[in-house]
Amino acid sequence: MDLRAALTAHRLVAIVRGADPEAALRTVLTLADAGIELIEVSLTGKDALSVIERARRDLGPDRPLGAGTVLTADDARAAHRAGADFAVTPALGDGAEAARELGMPVLAGVMTPTEILTARTLGAAALKIFPAAQAGGPAYLRALRGPFPHEPFVPVGGIDDLAARAYLAAGATAVGVGSPLVGDAADGGSLTDLRARARAFRAAVQEVTR
């Protein structure tokens, strides 16, 4: 898949991490049904590979589905076997390299200019600023866009709908959102509430002029 194009088009990645695999699967499917086009299942969730495999079967081959917290080469290979289209990493390392070798585009975690250059060398499709709030928020993103005006940045970490607007206005290509969007749905919480949050986030990211 063309991850950079998908991020540019949809501007939002939902991050699903849960202690209940059945609830996590329901969360993925509900988000997809609610119009969230890019969904990442974190490998730190319980039975995450099974969730990815079952979600791939239910969503079909054409719906983008990512694996998150890909740290090692084994993580990348397992995610690929389970049916993930793209890999998301919190940092640079073996997981990012192995995913690229497998043909999976990588949303690679970076914090500093040096890491941005390293990610570019690794062939990352986009750059995940993580943890975004602790890095300095939208002001830090604006500073990075000085020397790197064309890099596709995706802030992740503690982003609610207001922060999503601010990051996109500061030049982010997309934002990655976990608990402010997913809430407790992946642990068995309300899917009705999840749908409402999905509508709010979709509206938020669509409001900001590119």
Do residues 48 and 40 make contact, with C-beta atoms less than 8 angstroms apart?
no
46 catalytic, yes or no?
no
Catalytic one among 46, 97, 101, 128? Answer: 128
Residues in Cβ contact with 50 at an 8 Å cutoff, skipping those fewer than 6 apart: 21, 82
Residue 152: asked if its preceding bond is cis (omega within 30°), the reply is no
Which position among 22, 40, 151, 207 bears the catalytic label?
40
CA angle 159/29/100 to nearest 5° reads 70
d(CA 181, CA 200): 9
DSSP state of 186: G
64 three-state secondary structure? coil
Catalytic status, residue 40 = yes
User: Which residues are the active-site residues?
Assistant: 40, 128
